[in-house]
Amino acid sequence: MGASNIFISGFSLRTAGLSYSSSIFERKHVNADRRLLKKAVRHGNPIFALEEEFAVDAGLQLWQSNPSHAVRSLAPLSLR
């Protein structure tokens, strides 16, 4: 059981939490996010960042699309 890989995209630990929005609303849990990600990586969870800046800031591996990182499908999940 469990995910073979986890991909994170659209987050930032530099810009109040959202790299895709200039919203006036600040996320108050950026530091908690950073701590949780570091703990998850230490425990060997297969978490990858899709943006280089976030990979560096969060201490995650940057996803590289190559045969060693094969993914069968990134199709959206059905919400039915």
43-76 per-position pLDDT tens digit = 888 899 999 988 998 889 999 876 454 444 444 4
Q: What phi, psi does 33 have (nearest 5°)?
A: -60, -45
Round the average pLDDT of the chain to a whole number and report it. Answer: 75
User: Do residues 20 and 10 lie in contact, with contact meaning Cβ atoms separated by under 8 Å?
Assistant: yes
- The answer, yes or no, to whether residue 80 has pLDDT greater than 80, is no
SS3 of 31, please?
A: helix
The pLDDT of residue 62 is 92
Q: What is the dihedral of CA 33, 34, 40, 45, to 10 degrees?
A: 90
State the pLDDT at residue 68.
Answer: 55
User: Taking Cα atoms as reference points, which of 10, 5, 14 lies closest to residue 72?
Assistant: 5
pTM (two decimals): 0.64
18 pLDDT above the threshold of 80: no
- What pLDDT, on a 0 to 100 scale, did the predictor assign at position 48? 93
